[in-house]
Structure 1
Amino acid sequence: MLTTQLQHAAETYPDLTTNLRGYADAGSVPEPIRAWAQAGPDEGLYEFVAEELHVAVIPADTAQGRAFVVFDVAGIEAASAEDWWLLLVITTVVGVLGALGFGLGVLVMRRAVAPVVQLADVVAGIDLEHLSAADHTLIESGRFGRDEVGVLAGAIEKTLQRISAFVVRERDFTGSASHELRTPITVITGALELLEQSDLSGEDAKSVDRIRRATLEMKSTIEMFLCIAREADDGLYDEHFPVAPLVTRAIEQQRYLLDGKCVVVDVETLAAPVVRGHPQAFLIAVTNLVRNAFEQTPGGQGPITVRLTTRELLVTNRSGGDDACRPTPAGASSANGHGLGLGIVQRLCERNGWAFSLQTDEARVTACLSW
């Protein structure tokens, strides 16, 4: 504005004119603002856009007590409007360049992240529930270059190879172990049947009976561990089976543990539920719970309650107290724990979608198996 004012004065040389003038009274100010000045405005600065005037109202020793300083900006501010257009052009160019830069950045970012997204999609497509030896071929590190993504793909590929090899070894082991461990049990069972048919004394018959029970427990233990170790078991986990017969079978198989304890088993069958899962796994779980209850209940401290409802099986037994009958036979478990099989029961329940909980207090222990 100062430059424009100087040029405007140079054009009128030697008759220099000034754009800044003072007026002692309102009647002498320029005509466009005279009526306004005569109305007695307050002190301050005023701008009249249409008239292109800037006015300062100041106190003075006049009749009105006001003086006026008028700055005529005609021809000066008009030229400065070009600066606004220049600023608008610059702002527009900067905005366009910023938008182009943002779009280019998004494009570059997507192209940089694309291999990671592709790798994630490939990994998500692998069925981890049924992992096979060929699954590692779905991820080939060569497809992702030699950068960080390629290194990550190579690590995942090697991991899947190791997991696939482990699955193969697990299947081979469980298949071989199932045959090799069950064969001696079958031989022992056949020998016991032959011994039972012979003429045995009372002591020999008791020894044979103990061997038979130990063989049954060993067979149950082998089946239990093989059931847990197998990754797949021919779809038996989707079978529907009645619960009551398996509960009765487990109680009868473990009833010998109560010999000499004077403990009554109270079975309450309130429903006949049908459960979905692996029947052998259910029998193993119930057998563990019943065995723990029979072993941990002191002599004469019954009854042991087995309660079967529509949604759960409850096994409750006393956990302490003096024997009211005779001492527990030698060799019976006297530990205060609740059996080593509860962790196995928990794993079997998780595998089949059942729920297991154990509640204990000073008087009793309650095991709950729900479905």
Structure 2
Amino acid sequence: MFGIFSNARTLTGKLALFFTVMSCVIGVLTFLLFYYALQWSEDRVGERRILIDRDSAVERFTNGEHGVIKLDTLTTAYNDEAQVPEPFKSFLKNKNTYLGEVDTLDSPSGHMVFKGVYTQNGQQKDIVVLSFVDKVEFSREEMAFVAIVVIIFIALLMFVFGAFLFKVSKKLIEPVNELAHQLNDSSGDATRAFKIGKGAVGEFQLLTTRLNQYRKELRLVLKREQAFARYASHELRTPLTIVKGANNLLSRSELTEGQERQVARINDAVSEMIKMVDALLSIVRYERNSGDIEVRDVDKSEIIRIVEANNLHAVDKQIRINVDFRSSPKIKASQAILSMVVGNILRNACAASQKGEVDILVNDNAIEVIDDGAGLSNESSKSGHGLGLLIVDDLCRRYGWQFSLQPHESRGCRAIITFT
């Protein structure tokens, strides 16, 4: 029943319609109750009146009058049933006693009829009293007039209370609709402030103030985060460049086999750090100018480079990495971001596997990494090497991708990035 009130946008109109229907039902029931109560009261008054007339007729019959007595212009009494007018005589023929209103075929107007007995000189005699009660009851025109008055009064009440309900519901519901509309329109824009009409109740005014306060705090947090990523990236780039240059100079010298391995490790670490710095800058640029970033195609060579940059664990464990490039996905992210995300997933897959293979499947809407590890445990979480899968999940949310980690049917687990 209450499902019709599930949408706040049309709730005011639905409340008005609901109130109108309920008011009509209540109005009809009130009118019927009034009408039948009036009929019932008229009948009870008629019955009491004819009983009083009966007592007067009995007194006159016991005093010697006989046959037909005209008590007044409306009431006639009979102590001889043979003298009762035919329509009523036929109606009372098989009744010993009766009290009620009767409409006969020959007398369309209502008569209150009483039939009973009284005692005279130790003998019981029948008595019939007829009263033309329609003369004192409401006529059809009067009943119609009363009905019209009642209907008009109920309609006025419906209009007054309906208008009051509409105003109250509008004050309570319109602010919700305004806030919902502004939230929908300003999604992703933390600079727009929420506004609400001055006539809204105090709780909505407070809610709007708090929403604006939270949006302001969110905007400041975003600015601090972007500033930190931007400045940290610039500050890190200079020492990394120095380290890389010095490492290149060392690589030109005559080195032992152990020193060459250390120089190679330093060079790989610096390259990873530079990619991370580029990724941080890409995130800042994306958050500031997401609408201006062009969609680009991911080619197979980019995936191969990511594999080559993250195959150290695979080589140590003799794990084979296979790339199945079926089609090129389209994304709005830099190579550094994709390298960070896919590289972290790939390193986790190699770390989880002791042997076997790691397959990378690439199609036009997803990248899937399948390993031969132990699979997902009950306590598995989105955490791993480097930034961790929690950060991967956060990056995917920033770029509107879907990231999931699922158990494989016959192997270890599968990590899926779905581009939307």
**Alignment check: 8 A CA contact 2:70 2:77 kept:** no
Pick one of 301, 308, 322 that aligns with 1:266.
Answer: 322
- Aligned ranges 1:144-163 → 2 under 5 Å: 147-163=202-218
Letter matched to residue 207 of structure 1: Q
Q: TM-score, normalised by structure 1?
A: 0.72
Note if 1:297 corresponds to 2:353: yes
Q: Give CA-to-partner distance per residue, 1:191-235, whole Å, 9 cap, x none.
A: 222222233232221111111111122233444455556633554
Q: CA RMSD in A?
A: 4.1
**Alignment check: 8 A CA contact 2:349 2:370 kept:** yes
**Matched residue, 1:241:** 297
Q: Distance in 1 between matches of 2:183 and 2:357?
A: 53
Note if 1:72 corresponds to 2:130: yes
**Matched residue, 1:30:** 85
**CA positional deviation for 1:104:** 4.1
Which runs of 5 or more structure 1 residues have no equivalent in the other structure? 61-66, 321-336
Q: Distance in 2 between matches of 1:93 and 1:258?
A: 88
Q: Give CA-to-partner distance per residue, 1:302-348, whole Å, 9 cap, x none.
A: 2332333444333222226xxxxxxxxxxxxxxxx854622222223
**Alignment check: 8 A CA contact 1:319 1:364 kept:** yes
- Aligned ranges 1:133-144 → 2 under 5 Å: 135-136=192-193, 139=195
**Matched residue, 1:308:** 362
- Aligned ranges 1:173-252 → 2 under 5 Å: 173-225=228-280, 227=282, 231-235=287-291, 238-252=294-308
**Alignment check: 8 A CA contact 2:329 2:363 kept:** no
**CA positional deviation for 1:47:** 0.5
Q: Give CA-to-partner distance per residue, 1:149-193, whole Å, 9 cap, x none.
A: 443333333333323333333332232122112222222222222
**Matched residue, 1:348:** 395
Which runs of 5 or more structure 2 residues have no equivalent in the other structure? 1-44, 61-68, 119-124, 375-382
Measured at CA, do residues 89 and 315 of structure 1 come closer, stay the same or move farther in structure 2, by a change above 3 Å? closer
- Give secondary structure in 2 for the equivalent of 1:318: coil
Q: Distance in 2 between matches of 1:346 and 1:125?
A: 25
Measured at CA, do residues 16 and 237 of structure 1 come closer, stay the same or move farther in structure 2, by a change above 3 Å? same
**CA positional deviation for 1:108:** 4.1
Note if 1:364 corresponds to 2:412: yes
**Alignment check: 8 A CA contact 1:29 1:37 kept:** no
**CA positional deviation for 1:297:** 2.5
Measured at CA, do residues 103 and 68 of structure 1 come closer, stay the same or move farther in structure 2, by a change above 3 Å? farther
Letter matched to residue 81 of structure 1: F
**Matched residue, 2:179:** 120
Q: Distance in 2 between matches of 1:21 and 1:365?
A: 106
**Alignment check: 8 A CA contact 1:312 1:369 kept:** yes
Aligned residues: 334
Measured at CA, do residues 68 and 370 of structure 1 come closer, stay the same or move farther in structure 2, by a change above 3 Å? farther
Q: Distance in 2 between matches of 1:307 and 1:42?
A: 100
Identity %: 20
**Alignment check: 8 A CA contact 1:288 1:342 kept:** yes
**Alignment check: 8 A CA contact 2:275 2:340 kept:** yes
**Matched residue, 2:77:** 21
**Alignment check: 8 A CA contact 2:297 2:330 kept:** yes
